Structure 1
Amino acid sequence: MAQNAGGFGYLLKESLAEIGDLAEAIRRIGTGGSVIDPTVVACLLHRNRATAPVDTLPHREHEILALIAEGRSNEATARHLTVSGKTVETHVRNVFSKLGLESNIVDHRRVLAVLTYLRA
């Protein structure tokens, strides 16, 4: 269905009260349309999505990550939030830890944190 949604149908038999509904669905599918039972759509829209790591951050850490994503330095973030630079450093370190971005010589954690933020 993801590759070609045309000519696709999925109906639940208990949702078909009238033979005319089935006939209409078959006609629509036959002309390249798609039919999906409203019950299935509702389930898909209301299913629990996996919690993104960014969603688990406390408000202040989420706010700091958003400022990092805007390209702000720790110093600019501290001025913007009227907190000390040490406070921002602590929050940034916590963000990295909670996002699973451990320090190493290969990766740039600020960039990886922003990418994680944008994906969420």
Structure 2
Amino acid sequence: MTERSLRVVLAEDSVVLRDGMSELLSARGCVVVAAVGTAEDLLAAVAEHGPDVAVVDIRMPPSHTDEGIRAALELRKRWPEVGILVFSQHVEAILAERLLSAGAAGVGYLLKERVARTAELVDALHRVATGGTVLDPEIVTGLLRDGTRRNRIDSLTPREREVLDLMAQGHSNRSIAQRLVVTERAVEKHAAAIFMKFDLPPTETDNRRVKAVLTYLTETGSGA
């Protein structure tokens, strides 16, 4: 995004916060093409303006529960090229898992109270807009639940690490197979080996892929 300003759609139901963030981002060189207060308006704004990234609060009208994250999931489905930064005061690990399960590339989740400077927010927006992943450590901890143990990356074979790196970029097993010129079955075997080495047994929700990616991002320093 060096040749032009980052184009941002901002979704925040608090008028004061919305106006304040718009001014701060504009002062840092971003172009806030739309600032809205509902999930419905967020989807309409992205459809109209085609931004580089959308900043989304989780709890929005009318119920103030998960409207924002549901809108973010819809954005991922309809406009996968648009980066999404969830910017909330709440740690919602289950909702974060739903968003990340669609692919970690171009996704961020930061806590409002832990962003000390506008420059940090702008940097996160640029990283997400260019396909990176930015996660607050509290979000990672909430998703992993059992904590992160170091050096598990070192236990992977070079091929397993390639597979995990592509997982972290948001590729499906089919896409990984095409990129590595192997069969989907081979990718599945590598993924199973990764899950075993990371001590991620099958669960009812089968969220091992998300946890493996989060472990990788944490231990390699690729996340927040």
TM-score strictly above 0.5: yes
Alpha-carbon distance change, 54 to 78 in structure 1, aligned in 2, over 3 angstroms: same
* Counterpart residue number, 1:47: none
From 103, 107, 114, give the equivalent of 2:213: 114
When Rg is computed on C-alpha atoms for both structures, the one with the higher figure is: 1
More helix by share: 1
* Counterpart residue number, 1:92: 191
* Counterpart residue number, 2:204: 105
* Counterpart residue number, 1:65: 164
Q: Structure 1 residue 110: deviation in Å?
A: 0.7
Q: Which blocks of at least 5 consecutive residues in structure 1 are unaligned? A: 1-49
Q: 1:38-90: CA deviations, max 9, x gaps?
A: xxxxxxxxxxxx85111210100011000000000000000000000110010
Alpha-carbon distance in structure 2 between the residues aligned to 1:75 and 1:105: 23
More strand by share: 2
SS at match of 1:87: helix
Alpha carbon RMSD of aligned pairs, Å? 1.4
Q: Structure 1 residue 101: deviation in Å?
A: 0.6
- The answer to whether structure 1 residue 77 and structure 2 residue 176 are counterparts is yes
Count of residues paired in the alignment: 71
Give the letter for the 1:83 counterpart: V
Q: Which blocks of at least 5 consecutive residues in structure 2 are unaligned? A: 1-148, 220-224
Q: Structure 2-normalised TM-score?
A: 0.31
Q: RCO greater where, 1 or 2, for CA within 8 Å and sep 6 or more?
A: 1
